[in-house]
Amino acid sequence: MTLILGIDEAGRGPVLGPMVVAGVVIDEKDEAALKKLGVKDSKMLSPGQRERLAIEIKKTAKQIETVIFAAKQLDELMQIMNLNDVELNAMAKIINKLSSDSAYLDLPSNGPGFMRELLAKIENKQRKIIAEHKADSKYIVVGAASIIAKTTRDAIISEIQRKYSNYGDIGSGYPADERTTAFLKEYLKREGKLPDEVRTAWATTKELLKKDKQKKLF
């Protein structure tokens, strides 16, 4: 049995909700079956397809691990490190926790510094690490991890939506989503602050708070 680990994240860019880093370990021989089922980069799948495939991945996987960073936690971490470092630490934690012969990662940063720092944190120096951009569309096991990360985040977003249903549709949580920005403006107008699930270190949030402050001044 040859065990391979795939790691990917969901939610680096949103202003609302968590970032999730997921690791999935499968037997290499099961890759073909997952590919046949339609496992691929989660961005190329509909929400319904992702949910269906997540069930199949959980049946097939030998091990699954998720690291979830809530908005407040990200805000705190961003005071001492950047987002790449946050993701790097999560990847190292997953690699060290799960047993596999090799690990495939979706590389968030171009520089050789990222890989150097990551390898320094890996306990098993014999393990083969393959890190590439767009690994989620190149390797089935990374695609599987991207599906687990995305469905985990989507479930949390659904919980946040239920919590704030009186304020309208919260959208996807991304700054470009007009539903998300409309929700944040409405919440800020009614409450005079932003929800706990919002990342205050993000430019979108800072801009909203700045405009709100200016409005109050005039």
Domain ranges in the chain are 3-160, 166-211
**3-160 homologous superfamily:** Ribonuclease H-like superfamily/Ribonuclease H (3.30.420.10)
Residue 127, judged by CB atoms within 10 A of its CB (0-12, 13-18, 19+), counts as middle
- The model's pTM is 0.93
pLDDT score for 207? 80
Identify the helix (H) or strand (E) that includes residue 10. Answer: strand 3-10
d(CA 136, CA 118): 19
pLDDT value of residue 110: 65
HSE-CB at 119 with a 13 A cutoff on CA atoms is 13
| Nearest-angstrom CA–CA distance, 3 and 141 | 10
Question: Quick one: pLDDT at residue 217?
Answer: 37
In the prediction, which pLDDT does 72 show?
A: 95
Judge contact between 30 and 135, C-beta under 8 A.
no
What is the block-wise mean pLDDT of the chain (218 residues), using blocks of 10 residues? 96 95 98 96 95 98 98 95 94 97 87 86 91 92 98 98 96 93 93 93 75 49
CATH homologous superfamily for the domain 166-211 = Ribonuclease hii. Domain 2 (1.10.10.460)
